[in-house]
Amino acid sequence: MEVKKINEFVVGDYIEGFFLIKSVNIKTTNNNKKYLDITLSDKTGEINAKMWDCTEEDESKYKDNCMIKIRGNVTEWQGNNQFKIDRIRLANDEDDINIEEYVQAAPEDPKFMYGEILKYIDKIKNPDINKITSHVFKENKDKLLYYPAAKSNHHAIRSGLLYHIKRMLMTAEKLSEVYLNINKDFLFAGVILHDVAKIYEMDSNELGIVSDYTNEGQLLGHIIQGIKIIDKEGEKLGIDREVSMLLQHMILSHHNEPEFGSPKRPMIPEAELLHYIDMIDARMYDMEKALEGIEPKQFSDRVWVLNNRRLYKPAVNEE
């Protein structure tokens, strides 16, 4: 019997340990028997698990986002690992589990990241830009601490949104040291606000797991939702109208092309940079993830979110 993280599982392992139920469905076999179809997760990844011959009690006991202790072995089904559960029970107080250890999360502490972002806000000199950015960011502090940046794409992890914003700010500051004409106030504010409405577009629990999009999220989307927030808060705070309009324009245009959801393309250089900074951070995240565990001189599988590319892991290193 072994204690391993999910990303270490090998077909044939017999495993015991604690895991999080990311989602669970009751299904029926061809022979008309019920079983639980579970997505197990821990900090390192996810695996599909089956609990055959489940009882009615099991059906009602094991729910989404429960911590469980299980025993069973790693099998293979159509080329993917699968977990066959032999024993299962709910984790209890005596187990003394820290649930955050079982959830995929950003590599930095949310409060630390929150504080770092505040420092960037302090660097915004224009009082109007500073005021509205600070206000909107602080108003939404509670949710920002744990929200992911997406349901299933890049940064779909606990506090992923903060991590995305923080790395983008780092990049934004660096680029403004090369492109000296850039208005840093707009650029920093744009980075902080561009995706802030994702917390109204998706429903996430405090583990950073998104159950679904909100109704307004589906009907309008975070770009429109974000513009409305800036518009209304801008009016309430008495912000200069051009400042408010340009921040709205940056949010509107940050996907860069109509077919990706931006009806207007960037019309100020800061909006153009925002788009590229966003793309770079998303792509570096996705590529790093795709290359995890790939051996040198090997290719990853095709990655849907990267236009179905396969990625390559060079053997050459800096020396």
To the nearest whole angstrom, how small is the minimum distance from the Cβ of residue 105 to its own copies? 19
- Longest distance between any two alpha carbons in the chain, whole Å: 70
- The dihedrals phi and psi of 218, each to the nearest 5 degrees, come to -75, -40
Q: What residue type is assigned to position 20 of the chain?
A: L
Of the candidates 264, 293, 301, 302, which one interacts with its own copies according to CB under 8 A? 264
CA dihedral 229, 232, 238, 243 (to 10 degrees): 50
| Footprint of its own copies on 214-243 (CB under 8 A) | 215-216, 218-221, 223-224, 227-228, 231-232, 235, 240, 242-243
x/- track of binding to its own copies for residues 11-50 (CB under 8 A): x-------------xxxxxx-x-----------------x
Q: Of residues 105, 150, 246, 274, which one binds its own copies by CB under 8 A?
A: 246
Instruction: State yes or no: residue 262 binds its own copies (CB under 8 A).
Output: yes
Q: Which stretch binds its own copies (CB under 8 A): 1-9, 149-157, 193-201, 254-262?
A: 254-262
Closer to its own copies by CB, 42 or 185: give it: 185
Give the residue with the Cβ less far from its own copies, 96 or 177: 177
Type of residue at 235: E
Q: Which of 209, 226, 208 has its CA nearest to residue 217?
A: 226
Site for its own copies in 67-126 (CB under 8 A): 73, 75-79, 82, 84, 125-126
In angstroms, what is the minimal distance from the CB of 311 to its own copies? 5
> Binding residue for its own copies (CB under 8 A) from 127, 138, 142, 205?
127
Binding its own copies (rule: CB under 8 A), the pick from 267, 293, 302, 304 is 267
> How far, in Å, CA of 310 to CA of 97, rounded?
38
Q: Quick one: which segment of 39-47, 59-67, 114-122, 210-218 binds its own copies (CB under 8 A)? A: 210-218
Neighbours of 89 (CB within 10 A): 12
Task: Give the torsion through C-alpha atoms of 225, 230, 235, 239, to 10 deg.
Answer: -170
CB of 283 to its own copies, least distance (A): 5
Q: Is 249 in the site for its own copies (CB under 8 A)?
A: yes
Neighbours of 161 (CB within 10 A): 28
Applying CB under 8 A, does 152 fall inside the site for its own copies? no
What number of residues does the chain have?
A: 319
- Helix then strand count (H, E) for the chain reads 11, 9
Tokens at residue 42, please? 């821990």
Closest CA to 106 of 167, 179, 33: 167
Phi and psi angles of residue 275, each rounded to the nearest 5 degrees, phi first: -60, -45
245 binds its own copies (CB under 8 A): yes
What is d(CA 222, CA 150) in angstroms, rounded to the nearest whole number? 11
Residue 124 beta carbon to its own copies: minimum distance, rounded to whole angstroms? 9
Q: Following DSSP, what letter does each residue of 132-147 receive, concatenated?
A: HHHHHHHHTHHHHTT-
In the list 128, 158, 162, 196, the residue contacting its own copies (rule: CB under 8 A) is 128
Considering the complex, state which of residue 171 and residue 204 has its C-beta at the smaller distance from its own copies: 171
